[in-house]
C-alpha cells in the first residue's frame, strides 16, 4: 500500500506532537465510526507518525550518555549508555 504525500509530512513534528496525533488516530480507528477510505488514509498517516517517533527515539537514545564516577564518587567522564 503506497502512502499518500499527506501521510509523510510529519518530518518537522516534535515527538510529543507526533505521539498526540498518533493517539488521536488510534482512538478514531478503535471507535470504528470512520469510513473505510478515511480509515485507510489515517492508518497510513499513523504509520508515518509511528516511524517518525521511532526515528526520534533512536536519535535520543544515541545521544544519552552515562556519567562515569571514580572510586570517591566524583564524575570522571562519560560513556555511551549501552556499555553499562
pLDDT in tens, 44-63: 999 999 999 999 998 888 77
Which helix (H) or strand (E) element contains residue 51?
Answer: helix 36-63
Cα angle 42-4-29, degrees, rounded to a multiple of 5: 10
The confidence score (pLDDT) of residue 75 equals 81
SS3 content of the chain, % helix, strand, coil (to 5): 60, 15, 25
CA distance 66 to 60: 13
pTM of the full structure: 0.69
The confidence score (pLDDT) of residue 74 equals 84
Amino acid at each position: 500500500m503506497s502512502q499518500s504525500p499527506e501521510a509523510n509530512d510529519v518530518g518537522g513534528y516534535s515527538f510529543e506532537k507526533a505521539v498526540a496525533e498518533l493517539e488521536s488516530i488510534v482512538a478514531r480507528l478503535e471507535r470504528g465510526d470512520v469510513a473505510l477510505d478515511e480509515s485507510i488514509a489515517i492508518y497510513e498517516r499513523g504509520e508515518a507518525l509511528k516511524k517518525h517517533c521511532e526515528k526520534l527515539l533512536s536519535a535520543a537514545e544515541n545521544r544519552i550518555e552515562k556519567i562515569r564516577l571514580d572510586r570517591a564518587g566524583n564524575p570522571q567522564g562519560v560513556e555511551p549508555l549501552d556499555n553499562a
